[in-house]
Structure 1
Amino acid sequence: MVKVLAVDDRPENLLALEGVLASSSYEVVSLRSGEDALRYLLREDIGDLAVILMDVQMPGLNGFQTVELIKQRERCQDIPVIFVTAISTSSEHVRQGYDAGSIDYLFKPIDPDLLRMKVGAFVKLHRYYRKTIEQGEMLRKRTSELEDSNRRFAETDALLKDQNEKLESIVEERTKELLVSNIRLLRSQERFKKMFMSSPCLISIRRLSDLAYIDVNESWNNFTGYGEDSIGDCSNLLQMSLESEGGTEFFRDRPMRNVKVNYRTKTEEWRDGLLSTEIIDIEGEKCLLEVIVDVTEKVRYEKEMTRLSELNLVGEMAAGIAHEIRNPMTTIRGFLQLSQNAGGRMDKEHVDMMLEELDRANSIITEYLSLAKNKQSDRRPTSLNRLLDSLYPLIQAEAMMSGKRVQMEFGDCGDIAIDEKEIRQFILNMSLNGLEAMSPGGVLTIRTESVDKFVILRIIDQGSGISKENLEKLGRPFFTTKEQGTGLGLAVCYSIAARHRAAIEVDSGPGGTAFAIHFNASDEH
């Protein structure tokens, strides 16, 4: 049984290698140190050992030292070694690995398919090597037989005839196998050609050296307008989108999958597509197989749906603001009619009430404009904890008036790029909403923390929670569950968060609602 030796001091890495390399055609032997590997090579028969996978960083003897000791033994010099590491990735370490006697140097995380193919190749080479040795032994044996047969001339003729018959049988068998292989190859080429030409996707083959087009399919001709006689005129057909930096050099190095591109037709029209590539070998020359899925109509459809959605939102907002402003206008008109019937006299109480209604209408319009305008935020590095600390007295006073409490919990957070005025408005709106959602005795918790590259602001109330149906409508203009609410406050908050590229997560249940606002700490103004 052919064996593959895996040496790594971490059991989880050995377990992963055993899982990736599990095969019925060879056995994986796992060892925990360089010393164990040396002892194994001294005790065991290494004739069936095809390859050694050696970790670099290990306690005691490291991978480089272990391989150098292995290569000093004559019986182990021809065993191929592959270094596997997640730490020693510098060119100096790679050079040291090759100097030590390895034939390859892989970095973790390793592509499982690539590792299986490499190990499988060495297993095949080992078997071929063993077979060659066996054949050599057989050849020496037959030579001895021939020398013996020369001494016995009478048996030589019969032996040669027998060997000739066997040779003819082998040649005939090999010829049949070659014929079958050629037939299979021709069928495979025919299938590829049919798929290539009949595919609805745009498919082309280009030389990897200069990216010149070699062949294109019918869909490519139909979409681009370039026929086989003019494909040399479209060297700048593709334009990589901003999401795939690197241009043409990007897909020379390795295959790509579903990368957004724009491609130019012969009529100078730019269309949208998803590009996938694969590096193939054609008659010994490296070529690039390109497959483009045309998504122009899908992109147009999505843009049209977005436009219609925006128009629908504008309609909803217009209806909402008309409804909200009509109420105070109706009240004012009623008092003016009452004053007209009373000969122009008006009580101070009625004047105050009309002024309140006018202020209410003005507040609605102000919030609407704050939501609608696409202004640029003046974002500067600011401490979120310091901002919350300055707002605490104001929020605490509002809470005490309704018999509630505010609890601040500051985490270790660095400065983030924010517009201080907008975030003050954001925090006040969210905090007041939380206080209004709670009954007397409730506690509003405002907490900050730093997780990975994000600074998170959490505002947690102890209210009755938000229903699943209403959760889906949060942030929609003019949606409110309050009797006197306009439905613009939370919409303004979502607008401010969008301008700061901050994500809002909501978790609500019978015990209360928690808003988590994620600010990107690495985001620069």
Structure 2
Amino acid sequence: MEQQVKILAVDDRYENLLALNSILASSNYDVISLQSGEEVLRYLLKEPADHIAVILMDVQMPGLSGFETAELIKQRKACQDIPIIFLTALSTSIEHVLKGYHVGSIDYLFKPIHPKMLRMKVDGFVNMHLNHQKIKIQSELLHKRTLDLEETNRKLAEAEEKLKQQNFLLEQWVEERTSELVDAHEKLIKSQEHFKKMFMLSPSLMAIRRLSDLTYLEINESWKQYTGYGDEIIGTTLDLLSAEAGDSMNFSDVIHNCKVKYETKSKEIRTALLSTEIIDIENESCLLEVAVDITESLRFESEMARLAQLNLVGEMAAGIAHEIRNPMTTIRGFLQLFRENDRHMQKEYIPIMLEELDRANEIITEYLSLAKNKQSHQQPENINRIIEMLLPLIQAEAVMSGKHVHFQLKDCPVIQLDDKEMRQLILNMCMNGLEAMSLGGKLRIETYTEAEHVVLLIADEGIGINEEHLEKLGRPFFTTKDEGTGLGLAICYSIAARHQASIEVQSSEKGTTFLIRFPIPAARIQG
């Protein structure tokens, strides 16, 4: 881009510079305002001199005067040809005018300056500068073209000798390219045939539509078979596909594996996974729609989910029946004994029956604790405080069983917790860890912050959990203990779910580690 011509306006009074800028305002050149001779010299050292058309300089300035500045400018070879016009309001004597011409100026104007005259003088110098630049450029171009012409003449002599060889090579190249084009055309025809076979015989529903108006251009056999529409749809814009309820999308855009509904000719609503691509056919943009019908798969998945729920209900019912049957059998036996012997209830038997009834009630209470919709009273709480309150109880249990407990609680932010549920979760986890270890084993309890979570770590040094049992952890009534209902760990998983927490289990022959990650509220992360 050609740099704009510059006019340097030099005056120590700001209002004079404003006046000059107002008089000389033009899109043909750029007026640079400077307030001292020193500023002019610094500017000329940094900027190329061949872009400056003229310098308008006040004579009387603090520091370097206009005359002194002009003398220094003219001493520099690159700036010797820059025209300088002196402006003054102090002295109109011939001595000052002659001194101005002597130091290198080409004109001397007295203030107040006639705006039109100044503008005409500056325009004249700008035109002279532009013409000079054009002549300089044309001279350089002429010199370059002369050199280029000489070089061209030299190369023409060499090129003429090589022309025959190039013509020969060109003929060979044309023959080879012609052969390649013929081969490429044959391959293209085969490729089109293969695409057509794949398109027509694909088990997926496929259609090609004009992108501009979504007119059907081609459909395959699967499309006809599933939708019931044949060639009568060609040339129409009938859109059988619609987004799932609550979704919105533009079917003319590229889509990957989006679930859609489509209506068959017999008014049956089916489900499919839709993918689209924009392709070019005969220089026309088209939309390739590929839909995989998943109606039967969804029905199969729904049925499998129903069967899985029934199976889980059966397992839970069997577990409840097994656990409650034992205390009920004991109570029934005592009652039958009293009936057959026609005796009054003995006082020592009543506590046994009450204990069995309490046991059955406890099993039912624990089972109800698994409910996801159980009301949870969560409030801002620090997990370390809850653990510290449970320390004496956990340590006492460890001492009684000949084991050790190691705590490492790091500073953690306050999160939403239900105090009662967290005590139940921590005690269940710790008691399970203590029971899993032999004498001398160490239970490790740690808390720390990780990314956007507060982490509770409970690790034991037991024999670990078999891999086949890991996936069953947290399932109601599943237990590896000889005694127990199998509801304790399931309750822990339910409590974690109500706190939007995740439980990760790492187990080996050296022990088992439970990592419970509680989310930190977004407001506390930002804070």
* TM more than 0.5: yes
Q: Counterpart in 2 of 1:111? A: none
CA distance change for structure 1 residues 360 and 227 in 2, over 3 Å: closer, same or farther? same
Deviations 1:268-306 (A, max 9, x none): 544333333333222333333232222222222222112
Question: Which position in structure 2 is the counterpart of 1:216?
Answer: 219
Asked if the contact 1:241–1:260 (Cα under 8 Å) also holds between the matched residues in 2, the reply is no
Q: CA deviation at 1:499?
A: 4.0
Q: Does 1:203 align with 2:214?
A: no
2:190 to 164, 172, 187: 187
Rate the CA distance shift 1:144–1:438 in 2: closer, same or farther, 3 A: closer
- The structure-2 alpha-carbon separation of the partners of 1:207 and 1:365, relative to structure 1 and needing over 3 Å to count, comes to same
Shift in Å, 1:240:
5.7
Q: Which residue of 2 aligns with 1:44?
A: none
1:198-224 per-residue CA deviation (whole Å, 9 max, x = no partner) reads: 111122234445555443222122223
Partner Cα distance (2:378, 2:217) in 1: 52
Superposition pairs for residues 383-398 of structure 1, below 5 Å?
383-398=382-397
Aligned: 1:478 with 2:477: yes
Deviations 1:383-440 (A, max 9, x none): 3333333433443444444444433322344344454443332222222222222345
Q: In the alignment, what sits opposite 2:263?
A: 265
Structure 1 match to 2:239: 235
Confirm or deny: 8 A CA contact 1:241 1:262 kept in the other structure. no
Unaligned runs of 5+ in 2: 1-151
Residues 177 and 466 of structure 1: is their aligned pair in 2 closer, same or farther, counting only changes over 3 Å? closer
Distance 1:261 1:241, change over 3 A: farther
- Larger mean Cα displacement after TM superposition, 404-413 or 299-308: 404-413
TM-score, normalisation: structure 2: 0.60
Q: Distance in 2 between matches of 1:282 and 1:376?
A: 61
Instruction: Tell me which amino acid in the other structure corresponds to 2:250.
Output: T
Cα distance, 1:372 vs structure 2: 5.0
Structure 2 counterparts to residues 335-350 of structure 1, below 5 A: 335-340=334-339, 343-350=342-349
Q: What letter is aligned with 2:203? A: P
Matched, 1:435 2:431: no
Q: Distance in 1 between matches of 2:232 and 2:434?
A: 74
Distance verdict in 2 for CA 1:173–1:325, change over 3 Å: closer
Change (3 A) 1:416 1:238: farther
Partners in 2 of 1:213 and 1:287 — Cα distance? 10
Matches within 5 A, 1:392-471: 392-471=391-470
What SS class does the counterpart of residue 200 from structure 1 fall into? coil
What's the offset of the Cα at 1:380? 5.1
State the match for 1:315 in structure 2.
314
Deviation of 1:493 after TM superposition, in Å, equals 1.9
* Aligned mates of 1:177, 1:509 — CA distance in 2: 64
Partners of 2:479 and 2:367 in 1: CA distance = 14
For residues 353 and 228 of structure 1, do their structure 2 counterparts lie closer, same or farther at Cα, with a shift above 3 Å needed? same
Offset at residue 522 of structure 1 (A): 6.0
| Aligned AA (2:232) | D
Q: Does structure 2 retain, via aligned residues, the 8 Å contact 1:407–1:445?
A: yes
Q: Partners of 2:522 and 2:304 in 1: how far apart?
A: 30
Give the CA deviation at 1:343: 4.3
1:385 aligned counterpart, secondary structure: helix
CA displacement 1:145-177 (0-9 Å, x = unmatched):
699xxxxxxxxxxx9xx9999988776665554
**Higher alpha-carbon deviation: 388-397 or 192-201:** 388-397
Please give the TM-score of this superposition, normalised by the length of structure 1. Answer: 0.60
**What is the one-letter code of the residue matched to 1:199?**
S
Kept after mapping to 1: 8 A contact 2:216/2:233: no
Q: Distance in 1 between matches of 2:456 and 2:495?
A: 14
CA distance in 1, matches of 2:421, 2:402: 28
Classify the secondary structure of the residue corresponding to 2:343: coil
Aligned residue number for residue 53 of structure 2: none
What CA distance in whole angstroms lies between the structure 2 residues aligned with 1:416 and 1:227? 61
Q: Distance in 2 between matches of 1:466 and 1:395?
A: 22
Match of 2:508 in 1: 509
- Spell out the pairing of 1:485-500 with structure 2 (5 A cutoff): 485-500=484-499
Letter in 1 for 2:241: L
What letter matches 1:261 in structure 2? K
Structural RMSD (CA): 3.8
The residue number in structure 2 matching 1:128 is: none
SS in 2 for 1:235: coil
| 8 A contact 1:262–1:270 mirrored in 2 | no
Cross-structure match for 2:114: none
Which of the pair has more CA radius of gyration?
Answer: 2
Q: CA deviation at 1:342?
A: 5.4
Match of 1:121 in 2: none
Between 357-366 and 423-432, the greater mean CA deviation after superposition: 423-432
Compare 352-361 and 419-428 and name the one that shifted more.
419-428
- Residue 303 of structure 1 aligns with which residue? 302
1:113-192 pair list within 5 angstroms: 144=160, 175-192=178-195
State the secondary structure of the residue aligned to 1:337.
helix
Residue identity (%) = 57
Alpha-carbon contact 1:223-1:265 (below 8 Å) kept:
no
Q: Which runs of 5+ in 1 are unaligned?
A: 1-135, 148-158
TM-superposed CA distance for 1:321, in Å, is 1.2
Query: Secondary structure of the residue that 1:348 maps to in structure 2?
Result: coil
Q: Secondary structure at the match of 1:315?
A: helix
> May I ask how many residue pairs the two structures share in their alignment?
370
C-alpha distance in 2 between matches for 1:308 and 1:233: 42
Question: Match of 1:201, as an amino acid?
Answer: S
Counterpart of 1:247, as a letter, is M
Shift of residue 323, structure 1, vs aligned partner? 1.4
